[in-house]
Amino acid sequence: MTGVIPRRPYLELSVFPTSPYYARMHVQRVLEGWRREDLVETAQLVVSELVSNAIKANVRHPACSEGAAHGSPDHVWVDLYRAGAAVVLRVWDASRTPPVLRSPDLDDEGGRGLCLVDMLASSWGYYWPAPGGKIVWCTLTAAESETRDSKL
Ligand SMILES: Nc1ncnc2c1ncn2[C@@H]1O[C@H](COP(=O)(O)OP(=O)(O)OP(=O)(O)O)[C@@H](O)[C@H]1O
Ligand SMILES: [Mg+2]
């Protein structure tokens, strides 16, 4: 999962509260184009959490944004690509700070987003691409959609 980002279509989003919505629309459009409707619901849940986190990271760590992806802490980027039967979803933000999987108590206000990603994705992680910032990625497979449906 490390290395230079290959050229492929991506979505650039402003650091704005409505951006998770546009990310959800984007993954739906791309997945439907690939005839992977089976992954749409899961991918929308996951991208919503990852983009929300990316936006918070950009806002929280503006000092870390120098040399950020495409040179702007005002944006985050989303892309997807196919890897066999799986789809890899990536969200690129301007912060070098890594995400931390938490174990929230019932009365904790946050810490649930990555738990959801961890539950829905077959794998996830992050890396620091050469141009700057950080990419959080996850892989989605049809089996994860079925697993989620049986857990809900
Ligand atoms: N892209 C990111 N960059 C930097 N830190 C991150 C990023 N994503 C997550 N984190 C860190 O990991 C923690 C856990 O993320 P998680 O999404 O589980 O919880 P949250 O965003 O704090 O709350 P919630 O998602 O439940 O509203 C965050 O509090 C933050 O410290
Ligand atoms: Mg979150």
Ligand 1 atom 1: residue of nearest CA = 54
In this predicted model, what pLDDT tens digit does every residue of 2-32 receive, in sequence order? 444 444 578 999 999 999 999 999 999 999 9
Whether 56 maps to a domain, the answer reads: yes
- In this prediction, residue 79 carries a pLDDT of 95
Q: Domain range for residue 68?
A: 10-147
Q: How far is the CA of 114 from the centre of ligand 1 (A)?
A: 7
In this predicted model, what pLDDT tens digit does every residue of 121-130 receive, in sequence order? 999 999 999 9
In this predicted model, what pLDDT tens digit does every residue of 35-91 receive, in sequence order? 999 999 999 999 999 999 999 999 887 655 444 445 568 899 999 999 999 999 999
CATH assignment at residue 102: 3.30.565.10
Whether 2 maps to a domain, the answer reads: no
Q: Total structural domains in the chain?
A: 1
93 Cα nearest atom in ligand 1:
1
pTM beyond 0.75: the answer is: yes
What is the layout of strands, in order, in the sheet containing 10-14?
10-14, 75-83, 86-93, 134-140, 123-127
Which of 100, 78, 87 is CA-nearest to residue 141? 87
Question: What lines the ligand 1 site, CB under 6 Å?
Answer: 49, 53-54, 57, 93, 95, 97, 99-100, 102, 110-115, 136
Q: Which residues of 84-123 are buried (b: 16+ CB within 10 A; e: fewer)?
A: eebbbbbbbbbbbeebeeeeeeeeeeeeebbebbeebbee
Q: Which of 53, 61, 109, 112 to mutate to test the pocket of ligand 1 (most atoms within 8 A of CB)?
A: 53
Identify the sign of the CA torsion 77, 90, 106, 104: negative
Whether 4 maps to a domain, the answer reads: no
- In this prediction, residue 142 carries a pLDDT of 85
Residue type, 152: L
